[in-house]
Amino acid sequence: MRLNFIPPLMPCLVDKPPEGDAWIHEVKFDGYRSQIAIEDAEVRIFTRRGLDWTAKYRDLVETAKGLNVQNAIIDGEIIVLNDDGVSDFGELRRAISRRQHDLYFVAFDLLHLNGHSLLDMPLEDRREVLHAIIPEGERIQFSEALPGTSSAVFHLVEQAGLEGVVSKRKDSKYRSGPSTNWLKAKCYTIDEYELLGVEREAGKPAFALMAERGTGRYVGSAFITLNREMRERLWQRVQEHAGTAPKGMKRPATHWVKSGLIGRLKHLRGEEDLRHASLQDFREEEGT
């Protein structure tokens, strides 16, 4: 019987990783959650939603064929590393089409092996078996648990510029869908974006609408956390630089501005668009 795609277990987002000895902590990589299904000489690679992307990952398919298993389902993340050795989501999309040899699959769970479902096996035991079947130095790598307390691990990951930490209960079974047995804590980062406008509605917090610098692509809104003096200065600049709405954007409560105002935002690291973002400061672009 052919192996079927298993919808992945999805970690819940928390502010910080849990404490205690009941958990293991792994690096949260910035890539595409994927699943490798091996059946004899055939290998298929699925996306998080179950789409068959085997044809996009030719080199990883060949590496998977070399694993010493008859059949298996491996849960993991497809990544590409930047020059600092950190997973880079932006480079990943380019690597899939142009640089297959730069792709890695980081394996962190084993759901099926040689005719047996491992879903009811404790996480620690599943990972022990997984570790044994992943050779070192290949494009498929094992996601090692990080030693130390959760706070020390999170600090180390944050300082290294990584996306965050995934904490998993050692004794947990694998169940598809959102689960509090896996928790993800993301790090924050500071970046600059172009201000498109300020959304102000009576009785509601004000938000800055932001775009990617250079492309003008709308990436989301940021809560304005400036002090009173800076808020007044921002509002003055918005009025002085009054502009029109970008094409396709209809937000009646927004005061749009011309290009030239740059906002400094604190936001969750490793997201394509802004999440949990706040405006920390702003400036006028040089030459405007």
What confidence score (pLDDT) does residue 84 get? Answer: 67
Range of the domain at 202: 188-284
Is 93:99 a contact under the CB 8 Å cutoff? no
Note whether 63 and 102 are same-domain residues: yes
Does position 112 have pLDDT exceeding 90, yes or no?
A: yes
CATH number at residue 139: 3.30.470.30
Note whether 28 and 54 are same-domain residues: yes
Residue 152 inside a domain? The answer is yes
What confidence score (pLDDT) does residue 218 get? Answer: 92
Is 238:257 a contact under the CB 8 Å cutoff? yes
Does position 263 have pLDDT exceeding 60, yes or no?
A: yes
The distance from CA 41 to its chain's CA centroid, rounded to whole angstroms, is 32
Query: Which are the contacts of 180, defined by CB distance < 8 A and separation ≥ 6?
Result: 12
Note whether 194 and 182 are same-domain residues: no
What confidence score (pLDDT) does residue 198 get? Answer: 92
Does position 271 have pLDDT exceeding 80, yes or no?
A: no
Distance CA 87, CA 30 (A): 5
Note whether 66 and 174 are same-domain residues: yes
What confidence score (pLDDT) does residue 286 get? Answer: 67
Q: Which residue has the higher pLDDT, 171 or 136?
A: 171
Note whether 147 and 229 are same-domain residues: no
In whole angstroms, how far apart are CA 112 and each of 69, 182, 209? 11, 19, 45
Note whether 166 and 230 are same-domain residues: no
Residue 93: strand pairing partners? none
Distance CA 183, CA 28 (A): 10
**What global pTM score does this model have?**
0.76
Note whether 43 and 167 are same-domain residues: yes
Does position 76 have pLDDT exceeding 90, yes or no?
A: yes
Mean of the per-residue pLDDT values of the chain: 90
* φ, ψ dihedrals at 15, nearest 5°: -75, -35
Q: Which residue has the higher pLDDT, 252 or 32?
A: 32
Residue 2 inside a domain? The answer is no
CATH number at residue 231: 2.40.50.140
Is 47:75 a contact under the CB 8 Å cutoff? no
* φ, ψ dihedrals at 98, nearest 5°: -125, -25
Does position 127 have pLDDT exceeding 90, yes or no?
A: yes
Range with lowest mean pLDDT among 4-13, 86-95, 120-129, 177-186: 86-95
The residue count for the chain: 288
Note whether 152 and 193 are same-domain residues: no
DSSP secondary structure code for residue 155 in this structure? H
Note whether 173 and 118 are same-domain residues: yes
Note whether 195 and 117 are same-domain residues: no
Note whether 152 and 215 are same-domain residues: no
pLDDT confidence band for 1 (50 / 70 / 90): low
Which amino acid appears at position 70 of this protein?
Q
Domain boundary among 186, 218, 243: 186
Point out the residues that are catalytic: 28
Please calculate the CA angle 45-50-53 and round it to the nearest 5 degrees.
35
Domain boundary among 186, 214, 239: 186
Residue 4 inside a domain? The answer is no
Does position 287 have pLDDT exceeding 60, yes or no?
A: no
Distance CA 161, CA 120 (A): 35
Residue 3 inside a domain? The answer is no
The distance from CA 3 to its chain's CA centroid, rounded to whole angstroms, is 27
Structure confidence by residue, pLDDT tens digits, 216-240: 899 999 999 888 888 888 989 888 8
Residue 109 inside a domain? The answer is yes
Residue 1 inside a domain? The answer is no
The count of structural domains within the chain is 2
Domain boundary among 186, 212, 240: 186
Note whether 205 and 176 are same-domain residues: no
The distance from CA 142 to its chain's CA centroid, rounded to whole angstroms, is 18
